[in-house]
Amino acid sequence: MNKQVNSFLLILAWCVGLLLGFLWGERPFFTDPPVLAPVKLEKELSPRPPPKEMAVKVSVERIPDPIRKPSLKKRRPKVISKVYRVDNSLVRSGMALVGQKGEHLGSFPTITANYRVNLGFQTYVNSLRGLGGRFFIRDRRRRKLVGEVDFQTLYLSPINHLDGLSPRSRIISSESAASQYIELANVMFGKGQYQMILLLPLQIDAALIAGMEKALRKSGYDVRDFISLQARYEKDSRGLWLVVVKGTHRTFDRIPFRVRFNLDHLHQSQGHET
């Protein structure tokens, strides 16, 4: 009986041993993982040498410093300055230029004068009438004088004569004091396009042309090369002045002037109106 038990136990132990051996070989618990031996490549990869640097010639060209030219500022033209007394000598020189009846006046520039700044209309009228100037109403459409302005009676008088007057007229524009005479002309002569003008003695126009011709010739200009002259009136204790301040050349350059004419001197030297 005991032998049978022992044999059974031995067989059982042997079976258990086989089972444990099988399980132990399948799952190696609590063992270090296997170390893999490094695999040698047939040809070891050798590092490539860095590419050779190419020699490049670099030439540095020196750029010269820019030459700074001085800025050409437009020079202001020199002001042509002169003072004249409108006397008999200047009148004679002018009459030789414009003709005894002013037939050559068209060859010379017109003079546009501003009276509003320094005189005002009433002083302008009194001063120019004292020099022999006369004011008229003209029909622009027919280019005909229809009446002479009488500032005393506020009326338009018939025109008796135009002896000694310059053919160059000065138009009185944008002047409220002239409106009443223009309205009067519409009543007296019918509806028309009327304007007030001033006619100066030819001697004054001749003296102005002679004075400008002398002043400009000394500065290298010909007065005939100017399209127009701009001026203003001034009045002081020495009399009435016409000051030419600027001229427009035929090249359209504007030339500054300060050519002064004492207009009262002609009246004083002759002792009567001209």
Tokens representing residue 208 in the block: 């102005």
Mean pLDDT of 195-199: 97
**pLDDT tens per residue across span 47-102:** 666 666 666 555 555 666 555 555 555 556 678 888 988 889 999 999 999 999 99
Mean pLDDT of 247-261: 94
**Residue pair 254/247 in contact by the 8 Å Cβ criterion:** yes
- The pLDDT score that the predictor gives to residue 78 is 76
Amino acid at 180: Q
Is there a domain that residue 183 lies in?
yes
Amino acid at 205: D
Is there a domain that residue 16 lies in?
no
Is there a domain that residue 154 lies in?
yes
Number of domains in the chain: 1
DSSP state of 202: H
Domain that holds residue 223: 80-270
**pLDDT tens per residue across span 102-135:** 999 999 999 999 999 999 999 999 999 999 999 9
pLDDT greater at residue 236 or residue 25: 236
pTM exceeding the 0.85 threshold for the entire prediction: no
Give me the percent of the chain exceeding a pLDDT of 70: 70
Sign of the C-alpha dihedral computed for residues 171, 157, 155 and 205 taken in this order: positive
H helices present in the chain, as ranges? 2-26, 88-98, 121-130, 176-189, 202-218, 264-270
**Residue pair 118/234 in contact by the 8 Å Cβ criterion:** yes
Is there a domain that residue 151 lies in?
yes
**pLDDT tens per residue across span 2-19:** 566 666 666 776 666 656
**pLDDT tens per residue across span 26-49:** 444 444 544 555 555 555 556 666
Is there a domain that residue 122 lies in?
yes
Is there a domain that residue 18 lies in?
no
**66 φψ region: left (φ > 0), alpha (ψ -120 to 50), beta (else):** beta
**pLDDT tens per residue across span 135-166:** 999 999 999 999 999 999 999 999 999 999 99
